[in-house]
Amino acid sequence: MVLLGYIIAAVLLIFAILIIIYLFLDFIAHFLGAPFVPTSQKDIDEILKEAKLKKGQVFIEPGSGDGRVVISAVKNYGVFGVGIEVHPFLLLYSKLSARFKKVSVQLKAENFFQTNYKKADVIFLFLFPRTLKKLKEKFLKECKKNTLIISHGFRIEGMEKYLIKTLERKVYNTYFYKIR
């Protein structure tokens, strides 16, 4: 009976440690400007359809969270997908989800401020405005001509001249920018 008590205590301790780690990592993600806020599958489908993705394009999603957007892009449009996520639990979940759905997608544990976007044809973002503002210069410097940048939820300050389309939604609008 004492052994059972120790086992239960150990399991509870491990569970508490995992919760603390998760909360700490969630705080870090929030601090970096990319908290996990899932987008509905209906919105994902509409946004990707509006993007007119083509087979073979390179689709990068900084702050990919549970991977639903990049996985949907690969599965439904045949793009080469790259998801970038620093949160290990979300990264693990997205890798398991991709495997379960039999989708070949590159999911990386990486700081998206250090990612190279030179090969990107399409970049999907759902990030805070202050984070978008920091990424703007990087995109303008690294992205090739005709790269499509999709910002769900927030406009990218300073990129007004690149805005080609706005998809208006009840909760979050989606903004489409084309690098020229």
Handedness of CA 57, 70, 21, 112 (dihedral sign): positive
Of the pLDDT bands very low, low, confident and very high (cuts 50, 70, 90), residue 9 is confident
Q: If you average pLDDT over every residue of the chain, what do you get? A: 90
- Taking the mean position of all CA atoms in its chain, how far away is CA 86? 10
Of the pLDDT bands very low, low, confident and very high (cuts 50, 70, 90), residue 17 is confident
CA distance 28 to 149: 25
Residue 87 pLDDT more than 80? yes
Percent of the chain with pLDDT over 90: 72
Closest-CA residue to 109 (of 131, 138, 123, 88): 88
Reported as a single tens digit per residue, the pLDDT across 45-86 is: 999 999 999 999 999 999 999 999 999 999 999 999 999 998
Paired residues of 154 in beta bridges: none
| Per-residue pLDDT at 53 | 98
How large is the greatest C-alpha to C-alpha distance in the chain, in angstroms? 71
What are φ and ψ of residue 98, in 5° steps? -65, -40
Contacts of 45 (CB under 8 A, 6+ apart): 72, 76
Of the pLDDT bands very low, low, confident and very high (cuts 50, 70, 90), residue 8 is confident
| 3-state SS, residue 149 | strand
Q: What share of the chain is helix, strand, coil (3-state, %, to 5)?
A: 45, 20, 35
| 3-state SS, residue 91 | helix
Contacts of 112 (CB under 8 A, 6+ apart): 34, 62, 63, 84, 86, 135
Class of domain 41-178: alpha beta
Average pLDDT over residues 96-124: 96
| Per-residue pLDDT at 27 | 64
Reported as a single tens digit per residue, the pLDDT across 133-152 is: 999 999 999 999 999 999 99
For the chain, which residues make up each domain, given as ranges? 1-32, 41-178
